[in-house]
Amino acid sequence: MISDQWIRKIGLFIYNEDEALDLSQFHVRFDVANADGEMPNNASIRVYNLASDTVKKITTSSEYQNVSLNAGYEGGNYGCIFQGQIKQYRVGKESATDSYLDILAADGDYSYISSFLNESVLAGQTQTQAISSISNAMGLPVNYGSLSSDLQHFPSIRGKVRFGMARAYMRNIAKTLDAGWSIQNGVIQVVDNKGCLEGIAVDMNSNHGLIGIPEQTDEGIRVKCLINSKLRIGGQIQIDNKLVNQTMQNVSNNTSKNGPVQVPAQVPYNSYRQLQPLAPLSDDGVYRLFVVEHEGDTRGGPWYSNIIGLAFDSTANITLAP
C-alpha cells in the first residue's frame, strides 16, 4: 500500500567471497537497466564523499569485484534490484565540496563474454539437459520460468559435439523452444515467450505506487511507479485497462455500395499494415514484464521504476521444466 512507501531504504554493498563493504549510509544515486534480453543487465551507481583512503582501497585493488544494490521502503517492497560484477570505477568531483565514486557494473558479464563450451554429447539428451550443461559451463544456476514446448522433453536422435561460445548454444536452444533467456541477478532465466514466471502479479494502481497514466505504445504498455523490488523480468503486473491511455487505428478497408469504409481494427503486435503497430492490451489486464528500469537518489527526487509490459495469455497451459 502507498502508506508503506514513504521512508526510503537502500542497501549498497561491494564484496568478495570473504568480505563486504557497506556503503548504504552515504548519499547514493543509481540507474539500473534490467531487460528480458540476452545482453547482461547493467547499473551505474554514484556514491558521494567517501574518504580518500576508502576510495583508494576500493579502486586500486581487486579485493572487491561484486556489487549488490537493494532499494525500496522501510514499510515494504525492499529487496535486491541489481547484483553483478564491477566493470569500472570513475573518480571525480561535482563541486568544490562534493566528490564521487562511480561504480559501473554488469550482471553475469564475465560468464556471458568468456564461457566456452567444448563437449561431446551422446544421443538421448533433452533440450533442458542441454541447458543445464551449458549453464554449468557458464558457472551460473538456472531458473526455468515456464516452458510450454514439448520439445524440451524430446531426446536427441544422435550424438553431437558442442564447440564454441556457450551463449550462442543457449541462444539456439531458446529459439528452438520458442523461449527467451537472460541473466537476472546471477541466475540464467529461461521463460517461454507465451508464458511468465510463477507468482502473483504485482498490482499497479495509485494505492500501490502508480505514478501518472500508463500508456499504450508500439513497444508495449509503459508504466511508471515508485520503486518496487518485486518487479521482476518475466514476472507479471496487473493494470486496470481503463487507466491506460490508448491509441486506436483504422486499418481495415471494406467497401459498401456507398464507397470505401474504414473499420477500426487492432494491429497485432510485431506486424505491419501500413501503419505503426501498437502492442495490444491484455483482456484481463495482466502483462508480462520485459523491461524494468530503476532510478533513485537517496537525497533527491527520483525514486522510480519504469516498466514496459506486453500482453500474454495468462490462462495458457504452461508446463514447468524439471
Q: Does residue 138 have a pLDDT over 90?
A: yes
**What pLDDT, on a 0 to 100 scale, did the predictor assign at position 50?**
96
Share of the chain above pLDDT 90, in %: 58
pLDDT at 194: 81
Q: What is the pTM of this model?
A: 0.85
Average pLDDT over residues 229-248: 89
**Ranges of CATH 3.55.50.30 domains, the chain:** 112-192
Residue 268 is predicted with a pLDDT of 47
Find, among 4, 60, 321, the residue nearest to 191 by Cα: 321
- pLDDT for res 269: 42
Sign of the four-CA dihedral 230, 236, 239, 245: positive
Binned at pLDDT 50, 70 and 90, residue 149 comes out as low
Mean pLDDT of 259-271: 50
pLDDT higher than 60, residue 248: yes
What is the pLDDT, as a whole number, of residue 315?
A: 56
- Please name the amino acid found at residue 63: E
Domain boundaries 2-108, CATH class:
mainly beta
| Cell numbers representing residue 210 in the block | 502508480
**pLDDT of the residue at 18:** 83
Print the SS3 string covering the chain: CHHHCCCEEEEEEEECCCCEEECCCCCEEEEEEEECCCCCCEEEEEEECCCHHHHHHHHCCCCCCEEEEEEEECCEEEEEEEEEEEEEEEEEECCCCCEEEEEEEECCHHHHHHCEEEEEECCCCCHHHHHHHHHHHHCCCEEEEECCCHHHHCCCCCCEEEEEEHHHHHHHHHHHCCEEEEEECCEEEEEECCCCCCCCCEEECHHHCEEEEEEECCCCEEEEEECCCCCCCCCEEEECHHHCECCCCEEEEEEECCEEEEEECCCCCCCCCCCCCCCCCCCCCEEEEEEEEEEEECCCCCEEEEEEEEECCCCCCCCCCC
Is residue 148 pLDDT above 80, yes or no? Answer: no
What does the block give as the cell for 123?
Answer: 544421443
pLDDT at 229 over 70: yes
Of residues 184 and 259, more confidently modeled:
184
Average of pLDDT values for 285-301? 94
Mean pLDDT, rounded, for 244-267: 59
User: Where in the sequence of the chain do the CATH 2.40.30 domains occur?
Assistant: 2-108
Q: Domain 112-192, what fold?
A: Phage tail protein beta-alpha-beta fold (3.55.50)
